[in-house]
């Protein structure tokens, strides 16, 4: 079966019966996230695995360094950091309910303000 968007072959997961996208590089089915059991797809830009968030159904990117899920901001398309334990966006151990964006330069989380744009 071909994906309508990418025209890449899709494989159905035995466990979830959800379609898996074949990796363009390896041509092998992409693995299911062990924790979430959700299908992973490769980001076209970063080639990093994406997993769909159970809550938002938005694609998550796994961080190369931390292996924690990152969510792409709908507005900026920059990765947002999701806390592994509390599922809230966190910075420096403090729990906040604001989205975080990773700085393009230093890759550290930035707090998005409604009044100001993110500074790197």
- Whole-model pTM? 0.20
- Whether the pLDDT of residue 25 is over 50: the answer is yes
- Whether the pLDDT of residue 45 is over 50: the answer is yes
CA separation for the pair 62, 33 (Å, rounded):
10
CA separation for the pair 58, 77 (Å, rounded):
11
Specify the pLDDT at position 89: 37
> What is the secondary structure of 16-46 as a DSSP string?
T--EEEBPTTT-SBPPBPTTT--BEEE-TTT
Phi-psi region of 77 (alpha: psi -120 to 50; beta: other; left: phi over 0): left
Region 34-41 average pLDDT: 47
- Domain positions in the chain are 1-37, 43-120
What are 52's two structure tokens?
A: 């769909």
64 pLDDT tier (thresholds 50, 70, 90): low
Specify the pLDDT at position 85: 36
């Amino acid at each position: 079966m071909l994906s309508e968007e990418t025209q890449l072959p899709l494989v159905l997961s035995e466990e979830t019966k959800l379609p898996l996208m074949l990796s363009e590089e390896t041509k092998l089915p992409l693995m299911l996230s062990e924790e979430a059991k959700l299908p992973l797809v490769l980001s076209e830009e970063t080639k990093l695995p994406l997993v769909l968030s159970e809550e938002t159904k938005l694609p998550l990117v796994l961080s190369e360094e931390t292996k924690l899920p990152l969510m792409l901001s709908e507005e900026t398309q920059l990765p947002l950091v999701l806390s592994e334990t509390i599922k809230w966006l966190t910075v420096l151990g403090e729990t906040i309910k604001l989205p975080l964006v990773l700085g393009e330069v230093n890759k550290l989380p930035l707090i998005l303000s409604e009044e100001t744009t993110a500074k790197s």
